[in-house]
Amino acid sequence: QGKGQGDEPEPEPEPAPADLAATAGAPRPAATWVAASPLPVDGGGSLLILQNPGGSPGQGQVILLSEDGVVGTPIPVTVAPGSTTTLDLADEAGMQPLAAVVRLSTGRTVVAQVTIGPDGYAVSMAIPVEPSSTLEELGI
């Protein structure tokens, strides 16, 4: 005996992860990212990692943010095609926890922050945002 339509309920689709950056990695390269600091409040060394999986250079700037607002001036950055660039945030603004906004005018990247210490490491994957977003629209 054949089954008629609707005899068996369709299985529920798997829910999308709430935080793709933390559970599944970056969904795709993007031009603009916000990377939260993985550091504890008392600070430490942190690296901003920018990877360009594409075939053309990524060029733009990095804006560093502390709890008091923008730190210093935007840092120009170029990421060659198929390569990774690392920016030492301790060299840029001391050992304080910093968020970073990466804005590229050309190309696309994938961004993360990492800290490595004597007790282990922590990674904070960045979240892609609309390139036209202002800091105020991002809640910063």
DSSP one-letter string for 23-83: HT--SS-BSEEEE---S-TT----EEEEEE-SSS-EEEEEEEEETTEEEEEEEEEEE-TTE
CA 95, 97, 62, 112 torsion-angle sign? positive
Q: What is the pLDDT of residues 61-112, one digit of tens each?
A: 999 988 788 888 999 999 999 999 999 987 777 767 788 999 999 999 999 9
Which tokens sit at 92?
């840029």
Please state, rounded to an integer, the average pLDDT across all residues of the chain. Answer: 79
75 backbone φψ class: left, alpha, beta (φ>0; ψ -120 to 50): beta
Q: What is the pLDDT of residues 24-67, one digit of tens each?
A: 556 678 888 888 888 766 667 888 999 998 889 999 999 998 87
Which tokens sit at 121?
């490491």
Average pLDDT value for residue range 13-23: 54
pLDDT score, position 91: 79
pLDDT score, position 38: 81
pLDDT score, position 77: 95
Q: What is the pLDDT of residues 112-122, one digit of tens each?
A: 988 887 777 88
Q: pTM of the predicted model, to two decimals?
A: 0.73
Q: To 5 degrees, how large is the angle CA 51–CA 53–CA 58? A: 65
Q: What is the pLDDT of residues 19-36, one digit of tens each?
A: 545 555 566 788 888 888
Gap between the Cα atoms of 15 and 126, Å rounded: 21
User: What is the per-residue burial (b if ≥16 Cβ within 10 Å, else e) of 66-90?
Assistant: eeeeebeeebebebeeeeeeebebb
pLDDT score, position 63: 92
